[in-house]
Amino acid sequence: MTAFRVGLSADFTRADGKPTFPSYDLSPLAADGVELVPLAKAAVLSAAQVAGFDAIVLLGERMAADSFPSDGRLALIARMGVGYDTIDTDACTAHDVALTITPDAVRRPMASAQVCFILALAHKLVAKDRIARTGTLGWPARIDNHGMGLVGRTIGSVGVGNIGAEMFKLLKAFDVRMIAHDPYADAAKLAEIGIEAVSLEAVFEQSDVVTFNCPLNAETKAIGSARMIARMKPTAYLVNTSRGPVVDQKALYDALVTGGIAGAAIDVFDPEPPAADEPILRLDNVLTAPHSLGWTDQMFATMGDVNRGAIADVNAGRAPANVVNRAVLDRPGFKAKLAGR
């Protein structure tokens, strides 16, 4: 039997050769004869790059319909994180390839990142930091920068997946009202957490902070539209750590400069990375992060554990956990790949 070959995202290695994510560790797989091979850097992987691999581990690269090689060897794409809008899932299934994600790795780090943004906005942290740095000249400006207390305030979410549910669990300590719109969520399970299921319009109209915890797809693209943002209170904040395109970025900018809303915090942009002259980056009532606010040593260590488990399962002929395209598990071609290990 040939060695099980795994292609690793080029994002794993910095220009100086050092690991980008030191806590992410797949090296224990070597004990089972797994060969780890760095992939060449590419925005969209080609079939030639992927040929000869049994599995690939990806972060930022895209897999299009024509990225799948004809050798029929690829059985697993282990995606770091929970977003998979960069991967053609239908093509994965058609080529008998399982696509896995790492929900256990991102749940707490991303939920705490959202809470970080909410607290920073509520306490006007950036404005107060700037004031403190001006010394005696700027100090009097603190009187004009009172924050927003959270007790009794309404935190709303567009979508409630693992991260959204975890965010609300963390927010319970702040005695907030919690509402959300998610047509696919179990209302009873939301109620167990203390979340009130409401309409999409109600999330925007009633929330003091609107957050986004939905995947990017045809249904959610620009769900934070100009029409919805216009429903927000002028004292409300918008927090997006999901994907940039779920919010109409131009409409958000317009609301921020006209006083339609009080401020925003965004870890994601449309497009990414944003241009240096992107107007929203120049606003004082916006907090930003480069799609990495939730990145922690613990996040990547757990990602390594989860991805390592998925690779080990496929190498041993077992179906992995956290498969996105569940239909592939019943396909004869995928079963044959597992049986051939």
Residues labelled as active-site residues: 243, 272, 291
DSSP state of 320: P
- CA 76 to CA 74: how far, in whole Å? 6
- CA 56 to CA 68: how far, in whole Å? 11
Which residues, 6+ apart, have CB-to-CB distance to 222 below 8 Å?
Answer: 245, 246, 247, 248
- CA 232 to CA 77: how far, in whole Å? 40
CB distance 38 to 12 below 8 Å? yes
CB distance 19 to 40 below 8 Å? no
Radius of gyration of the chain (CA): 22
Residue type, 142: R
First to last CA, the chain: 8
CB distance 33 to 5 below 8 Å? no
Q: Which of 230, 115, 134 is nearest to 178 (CA)?
A: 115
